[in-house]
Structure 1
């Protein structure tokens, strides 16, 4: 069995609380940016890969998202009654995703430049890596507060620290998900384990990236799109 990914997991279950009133009656992935639902920009990235399967996890106002995504061929993993966070959500979706490593992609960011998923695919080395994250140098980000999430060494291994922002795209092996006892948990749990084993890596995005997790990010993202 090849260890290259064939499926993409779209994280779309969150409440979008940072968006305030904009998510009162619709899920964050359906908020419009430059005249299109935010999740369309994530779907554009997956389309370049032509994966065998695209799966989205849903929890908040799921009927709206399922009605939008299902006709596009996206498989649905509903989280009910409770939201499962990124790790629990990914584990619950494994029957749809399959056993190979998977791409995961947040649906609240805009990328300007090369497709981050194809860059990840080209840099993926499962013999050395259990996860490969796409990170953005802090100076190439828009709408992000803070000093960054990770610091990388010369070989691309990462540790917690300033300088690089996780952009929300990665390739990850999924076997260790089954060892976590909690039903709802963050992927940070697995990243910490991979870091301890020297198998957590990042590649650096050469373009620009915008966080659209808050209302101010919409205008920033629209400006970034207009500059293309």
Structure 2
């Protein structure tokens, strides 16, 4: 099974980054000379994607200009505007009418991983309804706790669990491949306690209904660029890679 389409969720501002995103949307923050969003689109293209939908909101005109000025060979781009920033599930639903009825990548405008991880997701989708990239942490309270069985099948996802309550080291790393089976779960999703329609909650409901999703561990570092500290760490790593420094 080959996945030729993708959605990149890139509508948010990144308020925890403060003044850093006052005039630059988070997906366009520079990493060693290339904006994060362009790095992500490069990676998707290398994994076989030919059509990518970018969901934009905050400073959408800046993103549109950057994409127009930096075309990626072989990749057709399409922008969809999220007028009300009410969650990632609603953002993804906006892209649904523009996708073919087949599997599609979903990734986030603030996640930075090595490009090979997208290729690994594409290879893994043949044995499941969906695949989800996961990273190992001490406590997944800041993201979503992902519980897996002995066969790497995801059995449960708990969004924003209380600190110290999780019995799994796996965190939802963000990038995934889902299929048209996801749309009904988006349409029936209720807002979270935070008042947003959150994509991981829809995926969790799909798993409970019997959809098979397999976990694919991240290879290499994982950066969620949501704070000045995580941005600085991602920049250090990207710069070291540009200089040819090999990391264990």
TM over 0.5: yes
Query: 5+ unaligned residues in a row in structure 1: which ranges?
Result: none
CA contact (8 A) 1:110 1:209 kept: yes
After TM superposition, the score normalised by the length of structure 1 is 0.84
Q: Which residue of 2 aligns with 1:107?
A: 109
CA contact (8 A) 1:133 1:203 kept: yes
CA contact (8 A) 2:182 2:203 kept: no
Q: Which residue of 1 aligns with 2:135?
A: 136
Q: Which residue of 2 aligns with 1:92?
A: 94
CA contact (8 A) 1:101 1:172 kept: yes
> Superposed, which structure 2 residues align to 1:174-213 within 5 Å?
174-178=180-184, 180-181=187-188, 185-198=197-210, 199-213=212-226
Counterparts of 2:40 and 2:141, CA distance in 1 = 22
Q: Which residue of 2 aligns with 1:7?
A: 5
Moved segments of 4+, more than 6 Å: none
State yes or no: 1:75 paired with 2:98: no
CA 1:51–1:217: 2 relative to 1, 3 Å: same
After TM superposition, the score normalised by the length of structure 2 is 0.78
> Superposed, which structure 2 residues align to 1:56-75 within 5 Å?
56-71=54-69, 72=71, 73-75=76-78
CA contact (8 A) 2:143 2:172 kept: no
Counterparts of 1:105 and 1:147, CA distance in 2 = 15
Spell out, residue by residue over 1:14-47, the C-alpha distance to the aligned partner (whole angstroms, 9 max, x if none): 1211111111122111122223222122122112
CA contact (8 A) 1:6 1:52 kept: yes
Q: 1:152 aligns with which of 144, 148, 152?
A: 148
Counterparts of 1:83 and 1:36, CA distance in 2 = 26
Q: Which residue of 1 aligns with 2:162?
A: none
CA 1:147–1:14: 2 relative to 1, 3 Å: closer
1:195 CA drift (Å): 2.1
Q: Which residue of 1 aligns with 2:171?
A: 165
Q: 2:24 aligns with which of 23, 26, 29?
A: 26
Secondary structure at the aligned position of 2:131 is classed as strand
Counterparts of 1:13 and 1:147, CA distance in 2 = 18
Secondary structure at the aligned position of 1:47 is classed as helix
Spell out, residue by residue over 1:113-140, the C-alpha distance to the aligned partner (whole angstroms, 9 max, x if none): x6111101111136x42x210111227x
Aligned residues: 218
Spell out, residue by residue over 1:76-112, the C-alpha distance to the aligned partner (whole angstroms, 9 max, x if none): 01112x1242221111112222221210111212224
